[in-house]
A and B are shown apart, each in its own frame.
Chain A
Amino acid sequence: METITKNNIFNSQKLRQDFPILSKKANGKPLVYLDSGATAQKPKQVIDAISNYYQSQNANIHRGVHQLSQEITIAYENARATIQKHLNAAVSHEIIFTSGTTESINLVANSFGKKYINASDEIIISEMEHHSNIVPWQVLCEEKGAVLKVIPINENGELRIDEYKKLLCSKTRIVAVTHVSNTLGTINPVKEIIALAHEKSIPVLIDGAQAVPHMKVDIQALDADFYCFSGHKVFGPTGVGILYGKEKWLNKIPPYKVGGGIIKTVTFEKTEYADLPLKFEAGTPHIGGGIGLAAAIDYVNEIGLENIGAYEHELLEYATLKLLAIEGLRIIGTAKEKASVISFVIEEVHPLDVGTILDKQGIAVRTGHHCTQPLMEHFGLPGTIRVSLVFYNTKEEIDVLVNGIQKAIKMLR
């Protein structure tokens, strides 16, 4: 399919050729991969970068005097700089490599929590958070006797900013909300959320796991204090992710894991920690992961996030229309601002059954609660079927999906 975007013609058929797995069959049918929200597929540019690292660049970083070690140290730090530029962070040592969004959030909950959370303090999250942005705060609250406050949502799946304003108070120590909901697709007004907290000098963590794959994120414009995302959802490898933290916060909070590589001096009496970013990167990191993630970011920038956004929006509108034409189908999450994620339920059929019959037709979707059980409870649903669309998906695939759903309904009812 071709779409005219600002700068060029968007040719998703051509881009698909960069993704070897997309020509695979599933259950004997051409694979229709509509589960990129769970994990995105990888272009050969990323696969090559990782393979090249293991074939010709492998050495440990920040340690050796030898040439290989120095070269890979430079490459790894270049990868960090690529991510810094991509997010428009002020300096590269504000970019911390982690294993993913989950670890990034755990890092902040632990390190920030250790220093700044006390009994009866309050932490604000929202009703639409992924379990990864609920449980670390819940555990912290239990440990410290602090209180978790939850921003409710309206019937469209949008955050109630009026309620949020009421929750912000002198007891609030941190706000942690998602940029884009993995279940509903809602794009939250994070800039406003951050500004409101900052009026009261409260820092904000943004879970960007579902935002970074779809849109340009300008950390300085948002003024986020912490921002997290996962490599594997932005067409990069699993096992690597990013925590962005404002320098002033990263300097104030203690390391979350300790060991080799983060130390200036160790005596048995006292250890002095290394400067940023190494302070938070104890142990040998996922070097190939960092290299692969940078390759993924380069790849996305080559296509251009604006072009991607425009095309995905078109896919979203097309899919929404086509799905709504199916009798008994109801979309959960009808926010005005949405990323290309669609959750839905169908009368008289269970999401799991639909997912199973779609799978038999080579169509990969996600079913269940999507690690957002409190959100499912809000809608009174055991789960939904979720379709997540990215630039390598096509309108033809949406047609295949719609036919597949119709077949499933016929078989299941």
Chain B
Amino acid sequence: MRIAEIENELIEEFELFGDDWEGKYEHLIDLGKHLPLIDKQHKTDDRLIKGCQSRVWLHSELYDEKVVFTADSDAIITKGIVAILIRVFSGQTPEEIMQADLIFIDDIGLKEHLSPTRANGLVSMIKQIKMYAIALNLSQNS
């Protein structure tokens, strides 16, 4: 599936909850519990994302010209947010990731997490994902 399709899928999935914040957060927590976990050996300080109140480790690898992300966090809601990002970006090419816009986060009602000062650092995560994509793109073309 392409990035835009997955984003639409997520929007529809979260729309079901309407104004029910509890349902929405329970779903987010559930997604967090199923996050594709980072391999223990990659859980190192250089994969730690700065700017988060909770700790987030993010790892990327290239398989078949597609980027595969794994991650972990010590906070479960943060894990849920990373899980959403990974669902959108894992299995896409570096170019697609570099070009993706992320307005869907607004549409699924998690906009409050988008503020640059928000403690769980969604913005830092997105930045890191794009950085990985740029780096992998460069290494691919060199």
Residues of A within 8 A of B (CB): 27, 349-353, 355-357, 360, 367-368, 382-383, 411-412
Contacts and interface: CB of A to CB of B under 8 A. Distances in A.
Contacts of B78: 350, 352-353
Interface stretch (B6-14, B69-77, B133-141): B69-77
Given A368-B119, A382-B55, A383-B53, A352 B25 contact: no
A367 B77 CA distance: 14
Contacts of A360: 21-22, 25
B83 interface: no
Contact of B53 (A27, A367, A411, A412): A367
A367 B54 CA distance: 10
Interface of B: 21-22, 25-26, 29, 53-55, 74-78, 119-120
A352 B53 contact: yes
Contact of B74 (A350, A355, A367, A412): A350
A355 B78 CA distance: 12
Nearest to B21: A360
Given A352-B77, A356-B120, 7 more contacts: A27-B21, A353-B77, A356-B25, A360-B25, A382-B54, A383-B53, A411-B26
A368 B75 CA distance: 12
Q: List the 4 shortest-distance A-B pairs measured between CB atoms, nearest first.
A: A350-B75, A352-B75, A352-B54, A352-B53
Contacts, number: 44
- The residue in A353, A368, A412 that gathers the most chain B C-beta atoms within 10 A of its C-beta is A353
Contact of B76 (A350, A382, A383): A350
A353 B119 CA distance: 11
Given A27-B21, A367-B119, A411 B74 contact: no
Contacts of A349: 76
Nearest to A361: B21
B75 A353 contact: yes
A228 to B, nearest CB: 25
Nearest to A369: B53
7 contacts: A352-B54, A356-B77, A360-B25, A367-B119, A382-B55, A383-B53, A411-B26
